[in-house]
Structure 1
Amino acid sequence: MERWTGRVALVTGASLGIGAAICRALVKNGMVVVGCARHLDALQKLAKELEEEKGKFIPIKCDLTITDEIDSMFRAIKEEVGGVDVCVNNAGVNLASPLLTGEREDFKTVLDLNVFAVTIVTQLAIKSMRERNVDDGHIINIGSVSCRQVREGTLSHFYAGSKFALQALTEGLRHELRNANTRIRTTIISPSLTDTPLARGLKDHGLPPFTATVSLRAEDVADALIYALGAPPNVNVREICLAGVSAPM
């Protein structure tokens, strides 16, 4: 991770859970981390927590379902720290809306955040890298084991569809970057049930119990990200799938 010291990472959905754990890990490894979320107070609390660490945490408020706010965020990043070297697309939502009876607005919200926002943020991150001749950047998407198996007995099939889309987008991005003769790397990290506020809010929707053997910790996902990011420049860790030792998937 030494080569990333002082360089800039953008982490979306940074205020809680996996996003906050990733921010902690990157800052402790000496990176300048721009963490974005809708709730600025939680980001500011995280910034206070990380004041004495090796790197630096910069909170920024952004609603990723509003493209104008994404554009504004990247302008602010350019003005304050120059640009993005690592982009972690972590923000996501699962509204557990059944396909047969779910609300249209729920479906739109899931697509806007889990698919469309990831695409726009990635596009702007790559643009930022190219403007500064950064050829060793890294795009890391936080997926889900839901992109590998559609589970029976849950209300999260539309969410699973969004994560299947993210898997395809990550692979498509890898192909486009190779065709562009760049060494920018891509990784998708797909965790199983992880003990986060988001998952706890869905505990009545077909999820297994949160236990030490079934559930991952947010820090486990952050550790996997550090592994992928810290791989030698000639190595692309394209996919990591994580699960608790007794997880059903």
Structure 2
Amino acid sequence: MDRWAGKVAVVTGASSGIGAAIVEGLVEAGVQVVGLARRLEKLQALAASLEGTPGKLYPRKCDVQKEEELLDAFKWVKAELGGVDILVNNAGVSKYKKLIEEDVHSLRNILEVNVLAMAISIREAVASMKSRNVEGYIININSILGHASSPRTNYPTSIYAPSKYAVTALTETVRKELAADPTNKIKITSISPGLVKTDIMQASGVPNADKYFEAAAHLEPKNIADAMLYVLGTRSIVQVTELTICPAAKHLSTKSG
């Protein structure tokens, strides 16, 4: 990780859960992190908690679903910090509803956040990295549902799984486009976690979400942040295309039977 100290990272969905854990890991490693999220107050609180660490968090209010705000964020990074060296696409939304019963607004919201905002961010980051001819890294936070969709009947996820399938294809498409350039210095990785204990359950409207994790084997946000740091720490000749992380069965609560 030493080569990334002092470099600039952009992390979307940075105010809580996996995003906040990723921010903490990067800042503690000496990276200058621009955290993007809608909840500025949570970003500011996170920045305050990280004071005195080797890196720094720059909180920036941004709704990635709004293209103008997303583009303005990358413009700010270029003007104030010179450009982006690491992009972590973490922002994502889901909804507790059957796909066959969904409304267009909700479908559009999930696709715009989970797929379109990611594609725009990658485009802007690659342009920044290539314009400066620097070593760069793009990490897309995916899901195991982006590889083998098997939603349980009691836990519908709307168009979330299809959107994560798109992330899998998007990552591979960009990897091949980058590989076609013999001068390329940019790597891209998909990290696909299993169930992680975050507030996405509450946000998506899952009934009794606060008790959901009591009987379900799950990961913690830091586990995903550690995976991200591992990927960033690989040598330049190593390309981790996909990293899938699942909770060990032994972490099931005794209440699970």
**With structure 1 as the length reference, what TM-score do the two structures score?**
0.94
Distance 1:107 1:86, change over 3 A: same
Supply the distance in 2 between the matched residues of 1:67 and 1:106 (Cα, whole angstroms): 18
Match of 1:62 in 2: 62
Q: Give the corresponding residue for 1:9.
A: 9
Question: Structure 2, unaligned stretches of length 5 or more?
Answer: 253-257
Amino acid at match of 1:34: V
- Once residues 148 and 188 of structure 1 are traced to their aligned partners in structure 2, the CA distance between those partners, rounded to angstroms, is 11
CA RMSD of aligned residues (A): 2.0
Contact 1:9 1:34 (8 Å CA) reproduced: yes
Q: What does residue 225 of structure 1 align with?
A: 228
Counterparts of 1:149 and 1:99, CA distance in 2: 17
Tell me how far 1:97 sits from its aligned partner.
2.9
Equivalent in the alignment of 1:170: 171
Partners in 2 of 1:183 and 1:60 — Cα distance? Answer: 27
Equivalent residues in 2 for 1:228-247 (5 A)?
A: 228-246=231-249
Deviation at 1:237, TM superposition (A): 1.2
- Segments of 5+ residues of structure 1 without an aligned counterpart are none
Q: Kindly, what percent of the aligned residue pairs are identical?
A: 41
| C-alpha distance in structure 2 between counterparts of 1:242 and 1:59, whole Å | 28
- Structure with greater proportional helix content: 2
CA contact (8 A) 1:96 1:159 kept: no
Give the whole-Å Cα distance in 2 for the aligned partners of 1:208 and 1:44. Answer: 29
Deviation at 1:204, TM superposition (A): 3.2
Structure 1 residues 129 and 205: CA distance shift in structure 2, 3 A? farther
Instruction: Report if aligned partners of 2:202, 2:209 keep a CA contact under 8 Å in 1.
Output: no
* Per-residue deviation, residues 73-116 of structure 1 (Å, max 9, x unmatched): 11111111100000000000001331211111100000000000
> Does the Cα contact within 8 Å between 1:97 and 1:107 map onto a contact in 2?
no
Q: For residue 68 of structure 1, give the secondary structure of its aligned residue in structure 2.
A: helix
Cα contact 2:197–2:213 (8 A) shared by 1: yes
2:189 matched residue in structure 1: 187
Contact map agreement 1:6 1:55 (CA 8 A) in 2: yes
Using the alignment, how far apart are the partners of 1:113 and 1:222 within structure 2?
Answer: 21
Structure 1 CA distance, aligned partners of 2:218 and 2:246? 7
Q: Higher mean Cα deviation, 6-15 or 232-241?
A: 232-241
Indicate the SS of the match to 1:100. Answer: helix
In 1, Cα distance between equivalents of 2:48 and 2:2: 24
Rounded Cα–Cα distance in structure 1 between residues aligned with 2:214 and 2:4: 34
- The answer (yes or no) to whether the contact 1:213–1:244 under 8 Å persists in 2 is no
What's the CA shift for 1:183? 2.5
Residue equivalent to 1:142: 141
Matched pairs, number: 247
TM-score, length-normalised on structure 2?
0.91
Deviations 1:177-196 (A, max 9, x none): 00122121010000011000
Moved over 2 A (4+): 199-209
Per-residue CA deviations over 1:10-40 (Å, capped at 9, x if unaligned) read 0000000000000000000010001000111
Distance (Å, rounded) in 1 between the aligned partners of 2:38 and 2:228: 23
